[in-house]
């Protein structure tokens, strides 16, 4: 009887539960809305029901290998407590592991969503066959995941790989984390908008950017990316900032870890063409490890499904001999 695992990806907007086999084949998926406003108990109810629904549906066809749940935010791994989660307001110090366990009545793996996505990319994505991988997910914020020796690196308290909050510019923009000059403040989708607004405020924005801002349409990173592709100088400069900040971060990670492959995921990676040049210029300049031995920097292969695959793989990985 072949095996399957359940992978869950809980996001600020979407809650997805999937049944996945050992070869990385996803054969059933339940897509729900998170609806945070209904309260955390309610969200955990739906999450657990989604899992139980898929388990019931398939447990007589395949053998259940296990369940993995990826959630956004910093988790104290020993206790299973969410320390902080920008996407789940009001969930601070919530013992999510205990809450899910109470409903499932069976063991499961709890994991940070970016860590899970990193593991997914290592399993069947851009980092396939790599033992050491660094994953950055570029959305509204920037999350990170580290795979060392084929496994997620958690650190002492499970709070490792907060890669969006390494300092790039010590005197730079304020960051939601309370620090300033963080990678997130320079390379997240929100940073793209802020950088464009800085040009507008300073009066140095190009005509096309000024026009877009005046049009009444909300200034989004997607719109600024579109302007950059049309040759708008300010928008191009905005993404050069993004690429430079990413390049500095990746160079630092290379000097620190000497790692195989970097994988960039999340919605903001759609603007790859606009930031790749400055990113690839910056890394060798900043890292003589990289100059001696260039490493791969790749786009995510699994996109927004990376986390769900990684969550499922937690179960398979821990069963492996």
Among 107, 170, 216, 218, binds a second copy (CB under 8 A): 170
User: In sequence order, what are the beta bridge partners of 21?
Assistant: 4
Instruction: State which residue, 134 or 223, has the beta carbon closest to a second copy.
Output: 134
Among 107, 178, 203, 321, binds a second copy (CB under 8 A): 178
The pattern of x and - marking residues 270 through 299 that bind a second copy according to CB under 8 A reads: ---------------xxxxx-xxx-x----
* Owner of token pair 């997607």: 222
Q: What is the edge-to-edge ordering of all strands in the sheet holding 109-112?
A: 26-33, 14-21, 3-10, 63-71, 109-112
Stretch that binds a second copy, among 45-53, 150-158, 196-204, 212-220 (CB under 8 A): 150-158
Structure tokens at 167: 């300092």
Among 25, 39, 90, 155, binds a second copy (CB under 8 A): 155
Binding of a second copy by 118 (CB under 8 A): no
Among 29, 49, 95, 179, binds a second copy (CB under 8 A): 179
Which residues of this protein are in contact with a second copy, per CB under 8 A? Answer: 74, 83-84, 132, 144, 146, 148, 153-163, 165-170, 177-179, 244, 248, 251-253, 255-260, 285-289, 291-293, 295
């Amino acid at each position: 009887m072949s095996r399957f695992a359940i992978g869950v990806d809980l996001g600020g907007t979407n809650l997805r539960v999937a049944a996945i086999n050992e070869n990385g084949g996803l054969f059933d998926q339940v897509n729900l809305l998170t609806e945070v406003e209904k309260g955390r108990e309610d969200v955990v109810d739906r999450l657990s029901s989604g899992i139980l629904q898929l388990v019931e549906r398939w447990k007589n066809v395949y053998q259940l290998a296990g369940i993995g749940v990826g959630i956004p935010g910093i988790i104290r791994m020993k206790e299973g407590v969410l320390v902080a989660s920008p996407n789940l307001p009001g969930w601070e110090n919530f013992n999510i592991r205990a809450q899910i366990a109470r409903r499932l009545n069976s063991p499961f793996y709890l994991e940070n969503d970016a860590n899970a996505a990193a593991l997914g990319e290592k399993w069947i994505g851009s980092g396939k066959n790599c033992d050491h991988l660094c994953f950055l997910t570029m959305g509204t914020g920037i999350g990170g995941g580290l795979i060392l020796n084929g496994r997620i690196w958690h650190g002492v308290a499970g709070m490792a790989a907060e890669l969006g909050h390494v300092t790039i510019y010590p005197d730079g923009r304020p960051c939601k984390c309370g620090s300033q000059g963080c990678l997130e403040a320079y390379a997240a989708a929100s940073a793209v908008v802020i950088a464009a607004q800085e040009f507008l405020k300073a009066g140095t924005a190009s005509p096309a950017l000024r026009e877009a801002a005046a049009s009444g349409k909300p200034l989004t990173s997607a719109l600024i990316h579109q302007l950059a592709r049309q040759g708008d100088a300010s928008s191009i400069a905005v993404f050069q900032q993004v690429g430079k900040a990413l390049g500095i971060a990746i160079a630092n990670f290379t000097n620190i870890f000497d790692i195989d492959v970097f994988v960039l995921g999340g919605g903001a990676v759609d603007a790859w063409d606009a930031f790749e040049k400055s990113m690839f210029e910056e890394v060798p300049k900043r890292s003589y490890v990289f100059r001696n031995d260039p490493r791969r920097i790749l786009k995510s292969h699994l996109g927004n499904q990376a986390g769900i695959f990684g969550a499922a793989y937690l179960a398979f990985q821990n069963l492996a001999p």
